[in-house]
Structure 1
Amino acid sequence: MDILPNIPLESLRDELTSTKRICVIGAGPSGLAALKVISESPQYKAGRWSITAFEDRTNVGGVWLPAPPVDNPPLTPLYDSLTTNLPHPVMAYTSHSFPPSTPLFPNAAAVQAYLESFASHFNLLPLIRLNTTVTGAKWEAPIWTITLSTGEVLPFDHVIVANGHYRLPRIPDTPGLSEWMATGKASHSAWYRRPHNIGDVVLVVGGGPSGKDISAEMCSVAKVVIHSATGTSPEDIGNLKRRGRVIEFKSDGQVVFEDGTSEQAIDHCILATGYQMDFPFFEDSVILASIPPPSPPLPRDLFNSSYHVYPLAKHLFPLQSHYPPSSLAFMGLLIRVAPFPLLEAQARAIVRVFSDPSSLDTTHEAIDIITRSEQLQAAGALTPLQLSKAWHRFEEHQQFDYRNEMYEFAGRSRPSDEVIVVPDWEREMYHEKELLRTAWREVEQRGEAEKWVKGVGEGGVQEWVELMRSLLRWAKQGDPDDTTSCSRL
């Protein structure tokens, strides 16, 4: 494995001017995308670049690699019943499809197997050091010094941050919640794996996919499940109660909601309230852990608000005054996106900036950041906290425009390459993802899933496109003689 020996940094500076060394922190979906794209670059193939990923776990996969919830916080929040909320043809890397006959919305084990297949297919494993944690990353001009759990201290020209953002639980500051947490009356969903008896009345807080899944599962073991999500209108369905945002947790087991109503005698609360962006290997000299000041002008420091990293050119490269923006990149920060193909596009943009730092027009990028800030403010992100929550959140098709922008930017350095454009069917199927998932669940409940996907994909991705279109037609039109068809859901 191509790793520098642990010897004084000064003696290596001359060597580093001829061979650019790239460090990737993490070998989950982001790290694998970076390894794949960079290992196929002309610079890597010519021996002018080397790349090493450091992964603190026993295998690749990141959040998709299961682990029991024994660490604090757990290594992954992966619960047993988790399936993707996107059809896998939309979710997959563009360079590597899921195997033929894979269920349209695969479970976590299938995604983990897919990521292992991706790493094997592109011969990425020799570039990864498993069971090795990056404990420190510090800029010491003109290089980054990376400290490892092995005790090694290694120099790199570039660092790619690919450590994910589903590890450190986010605990709301709702009045009274800290007391519930301290007494074990509330826990974060990071520790949840399957429905189990934690009382007759269970409160689940959070309106995202995990909140919906966990509240539905807990209905099978609890007498009453209260699912709280901001803006939800009160509704009772069997033993499930849907309620709005909790504004207070009282010591007697009572909670008060945003509309003034309350629920009594709650035995336990599960917080499906998300995760914080966390970079424990960086010192304050690299990134400050706080909400950034209002702009313009852009701050001279890089900030991690726990919701976003700011200011980043192209949501990737840090615009600050302490180290070259082209020496560091943050991958996979965007939310509400199809992540894997977007990561490939980001990796292509990174290759261009690493190979030609002048390609990053910092003045133009600063203007783009200010423009986005103004657009979000106009759309209702009025406070610094609201702005930070919205910053990396893309709406509907913005992610596809962003991918095209990354492809176009990356392609300028190699004009002979074919221009990559997101196909229209990806936009179409992403827009229909909720209906597709509802229809697929009905197909599974009928025991017909295997019949639907058998052999699909053997002739290429277009077969999956036709399957999804067929499923949508069935969901929207149904069988006029079938009263249980998806058209009636």
Structure 2
Amino acid sequence: MKPEISHFTSDDVVFTDGSTAQDVNTILLGTGYDLRVPFLEESGEVIVNPGSNETGRHRLTTNLRYLFPLHRHIFSLSASYPTNALAFIGLQIMVYNCPSDTAQSIYTASIIANGSLLAPRTELLRELADDEEDLRRRGYDPYYIGHRMVDNSAFDYQDDLIETLRSKGGLPERNTSFVEAWRRDCVEYLGNLKRGWKRLEALGQAQEWLEGVESEEEWFDLMKRVSTWQRDWETEHDQLVVFSDDTLIY
């Protein structure tokens, strides 16, 4: 992940941290989007204040990057209604959306059905303030990064939602985590996996590797085997496979 662009030279793109990128063919100015909730803004329930960097207790506020105050990026802590009355699913970025949205949906449905699973509003606001302060200690401005899951925290976040419900009786106790081990593991070798699969296709061997692969466990095993196969090949040949349709996005 690169910071913002500082300037261009005749050969390089120079970023604000002093690093550079060479041989850049195309630059797309991805300016992002504003975090807005128009149907709640019209009723006055959400206040739009681009410069806001402090959580209030009375109305939801968006500074166009961050919607707050929210309990665990989901439930509104506005004083206008009960704490389990208004929920937002899918605000996070830098996550795998489907499993993240599933964990949030389970958490939301359980708490809508039983509001006693939530602590009092004052305690939830204090918890939010503590979370924001923890981000600051780690060098992040919570009102700038918004709902971004930093430092690979997305999986821990999902597990924590489900474990919180289990610990309070909102879900049956289980000995398994919500996030399967293979989801955590595959993050470490996605590059090898992608390059390996493309090489298998180029060699005409992909179908052979797919034979008999049906269950989730078998797919996970296949992913590991492809990654290991590619890693070993690149180590032996001391080179990284690059395909013509690969695009590096900063």
* Alignment TM class, shorter chain as reference: 0.7 to 0.9
CA 1:298 to 1:468, structure 2 compared with 1: closer, same or farther past 3 Å? same
Q: Quick one: which of 273, 281, 287 aligns to 2:46?
A: 287
8 Å contact from structure 1 (residues 342, 403) kept in 2: yes
8 Å contact from structure 2 (residues 53, 63) kept in 1: no
2:76 is the counterpart of 1:321: no
8 Å contact from structure 2 (residues 13, 20) kept in 1: no
Q: State how far apart, in whole Å, the 1-side matches of 2:12 and 2:202 are.
A: 25
CA 1:480 to 1:429, structure 2 compared with 1: closer, same or farther past 3 Å? closer
Q: State how far apart, in whole Å, the 2-side matches of 1:414 and 1:398 are.
A: 23
Q: Which amino acid aligns with 1:236?
A: Q
2:150 is the counterpart of 1:388: no
Q: Which amino acid aligns with 2:228?
A: R
8 Å contact from structure 2 (residues 100, 158) kept in 1: yes
8 Å contact from structure 2 (residues 52, 63) kept in 1: no
Taking only the aligned residue pairs, the percentage that are identical comes to 24
8 Å contact from structure 1 (residues 318, 328) kept in 2: yes
Displacement of 1:429 in angstroms is 0.9
Q: State how far apart, in whole Å, the 1-side matches of 2:205 and 2:16 are.
A: 36
Question: 2:183 maps to which residue?
Answer: 426
Question: 1:140 maps to which residue?
Answer: none
8 Å contact from structure 1 (residues 303, 309) kept in 2: yes
Question: 2:156 maps to which residue?
Answer: 401
Q: State how far apart, in whole Å, the 1-side matches of 2:197 and 2:13 are.
A: 24
Q: State how far apart, in whole Å, the 1-side matches of 2:18 and 2:218 are.
A: 38
8 Å contact from structure 2 (residues 13, 22) kept in 1: no
Larger Rg: 1
Question: 1:195 maps to which residue?
Answer: none
Number of aligned positions between the proteins: 232
Q: State how far apart, in whole Å, the 1-side matches of 2:150 and 2:65 are.
A: 16
Higher helix share goes to which structure? 2
2:124 is the counterpart of 1:365: yes
Q: Which amino acid aligns with 1:328?
A: L
Displacement of 1:396 in angstroms is 4.2
Q: Quick one: which of 21, 31, 35 aligns to 1:277?
A: 35
Displacement of 1:347 in angstroms is 0.9
Q: Quick one: which of 88, 91, 96 aligns to 1:330?
A: 88
Question: 2:210 maps to which residue?
Answer: 453
CA 1:337 to 1:481, structure 2 compared with 1: closer, same or farther past 3 Å? closer
Q: State how far apart, in whole Å, the 2-side matches of 1:232 and 1:444 are.
A: 38
8 Å contact from structure 2 (residues 111, 118) kept in 1: yes
Counterparts of residues 252-271 of structure 1 (less than 5 Å)? 270-271=28-29
Gaps in structure 1 of 5+ consecutive residues:
1-205, 209-223, 243-268
Q: State how far apart, in whole Å, the 2-side matches of 1:481 and 1:400 are.
A: 33
Question: 1:341 maps to which residue?
Answer: 99
Q: Secondary structure at the match of 2:226?
A: helix
Range with greater deviation from structure 2 (438-447 or 354-363): 438-447
2:20 is the counterpart of 1:234: yes
8 Å contact from structure 1 (residues 408, 419) kept in 2: no
Q: Which amino acid aligns with 1:310?
A: F
Higher strand share goes to which structure? 1
CA 1:435 to 1:289, structure 2 compared with 1: closer, same or farther past 3 Å? farther
Range with greater deviation from structure 2 (390-399 or 364-373): 390-399
Question: 1:115 maps to which residue?
Answer: none
8 Å contact from structure 1 (residues 319, 325) kept in 2: yes
Counterparts of residues 62-461 of structure 1 (less than 5 Å)? 231=17, 233-237=19-23, 240=24, 270-282=28-40, 283=42, 285-291=44-50, 293-295=52-54, 298-361=56-119, 362-381=121-140, 386-411=141-166, 412-414=168-170, 416-418=172-174, 420-421=176-177, 422-456=179-213, 458=214, 460-461=215-216
Displacement of 1:318 in angstroms is 0.6
Q: State how far apart, in whole Å, the 2-side matches of 1:484 and 1:427 are.
A: 27
Q: State how far apart, in whole Å, the 1-side matches of 2:170 and 2:147 are.
A: 28
Q: Which amino acid aligns with 1:440?
A: W
Range with greater deviation from structure 2 (466-475 or 388-397): 388-397
8 Å contact from structure 1 (residues 287, 304) kept in 2: yes
CA 1:463 to 1:387, structure 2 compared with 1: closer, same or farther past 3 Å? same
Q: State how far apart, in whole Å, the 2-side matches of 1:418 and 1:446 are.
A: 44
Q: State how far apart, in whole Å, the 1-side matches of 2:238 and 2:205 are.
A: 17
Gaps in structure 2 of 5+ consecutive residues:
4-9, 243-250
Q: With CA pairs under 8 Å and 6+ residues apart, which has the higher RCO, 1 or 2?
A: 1
Question: 1:60 maps to which residue?
Answer: none
CA RMSD of aligned residues (A): 3.3
Q: Which amino acid aligns with 1:408?
A: E
TM-score (structure 2 length as normaliser): 0.76
Q: State how far apart, in whole Å, the 1-side matches of 2:184 and 2:47 are.
A: 36
Q: State how far apart, in whole Å, the 1-side matches of 2:59 and 2:86 are.
A: 14
Q: Secondary structure at the match of 2:87?
A: strand
